[in-house]
Amino acid sequence: MKWAQVTITTSQEASEAVANYLFERDATGVEIRDNPAPNSPSVTLISYFPTDDLIDERVHDLREFLANLIQAGIDTQPAKVTLESIEEDNWSEQWRSAFPPQKIGKRLVIAPTWEDIVTEPSEVLIRLDPGMAFGTGQHPTTQLALELLEISIKGADAVADIGTGSGILAIAAAKLGAKRVDAVDLDATIIPIARNNIQLNKVESVIRLHQGNGLNALERQKYPLIVANILTKVLLPMIPICPKFLEPAGRLILSGILAQEASQIEAQLETNGFRVLEIRGLTESHELIQIGENWVGILAQMKK
């Protein structure tokens, strides 16, 4: 059997939307590679589909989706799509090699389901099926959110995860000690995927999945910690809603933010009663810490 490798080069702003689109169209695995050039605005996504009668239609629909993103005000440039045929053996090897186990923060270890891995007693292992939904730990936005979650989880008995995707942040919160996690995603097709990963990690008694529009989909009214790894265009209107869902001095973790967008998020947080505790990925003078990584994560707290 032959597989079609579909490679998309697009903007960082559009990358998560494109990744989710590919998953919704049953792509088997999506790898996201940031351009290593300093401050490059482009990202490459590599996905795999069976080579069948539908492949040309899939590529056509993908190009149409990119055009629709432009109409929605999202920059997709350079918006390049290429197609390559790959043999079965090469496909399996190439795809799996893109998802090695990785250590994030001081304790978190993310590993795909096929890896036989031994962790230290102090480490927290999260297993994922990386071929199903955005959020495998490979992308900087997920890594930043996980790092901030690890240092913020202490004392947070309940956590809200907005835009859960694969469920990785909700799973991490549960394994790091949260007694209850409410995980929300607008996309109904994501919920079974997140549920599968939650069951893989045996935290289904802690995590409740909700399909709906962000915080408004939740029953519980107050959380000590909210985490959201989504686009800045979604975060900006969400921030004013957060205070009524946070306990006094509650904390907010935001990721999915390009470095050049950090000032917008900071201003919105200040306007809505938050103080910024940390911008991970930037120095105090707002210079990028890691050249070639254009993403930042923000930890904020409600002012008393």
CATH, residue 138:
3.40.50.150
229 and 279 in a single domain? The answer is yes
Q: Write down which residue in 97, 126, 148 finishes a domain.
A: 97
84 and 114 in a single domain? The answer is no
Query: Structural domain tally of the chain?
Result: 2
d(C-alpha 3, C-alpha 206), whole Å: 38
164 and 198 in a single domain? The answer is yes
For 92-194, strand residue ranges (E) read: 102-104, 108-112, 124-128, 158-162, 180-185
236 and 271 in a single domain? The answer is yes
Spell out the alpha helix ranges (H) of 2-121. Answer: 12-24, 55-71, 88-97
Global pTM? 0.79
Q: Can you give the pLDDT at residue 132? A: 53
Q: Write down which residue in 97, 131, 155 finishes a domain.
A: 97
161 and 21 in a single domain? The answer is no
155 and 292 in a single domain? The answer is yes
**Burial status of residue 66 (CB atoms within 10 A of its CB: 0-12, 13-18, 19 or more):** buried
159 and 257 in a single domain? The answer is yes
Q: What is the pLDDT along the chain (304 residues), one digit of tens a residue?
A: 678 889 999 988 888 788 888 877 878 777 777 665 656 678 888 888 888 888 889 999 999 999 998 888 888 888 889 888 877 666 666 667 767 888 999 999 999 888 888 889 999 999 987 665 555 667 788 999 999 999 999 888 999 999 998 899 999 999 999 999 999 998 888 888 899 999 999 999 999 999 999 998 997 679 999 999 998 989 999 999 999 999 999 999 999 998 889 999 999 999 999 999 999 985 555 455 553 457 899 999 999 7
Supply the range of the domain harboring residue 155: 102-302
* Cα-based angle 295, 142, 20 (whole degrees, multiple of 5): 95
For CA atoms 52, 76, 96, 198, the dihedral sign is negative
154 and 298 in a single domain? The answer is yes
Whether the bond between 243 and the residue before it is cis, its omega within 30 degrees of 0, is no
297 and 202 in a single domain? The answer is yes
270 and 164 in a single domain? The answer is yes
286 and 174 in a single domain? The answer is yes
Q: Can you give the pLDDT at residue 99? A: 77
CATH, residue 64:
3.30.70.260
**Which are the contacts of 299, defined by CB distance < 8 A and separation ≥ 6?**
148, 151, 152, 251, 252, 253, 276, 277, 278, 280
Q: Can you give the pLDDT at residue 90? A: 62
112 and 93 in a single domain? The answer is no
Q: Write down which residue in 78, 97, 116 finishes a domain.
A: 97
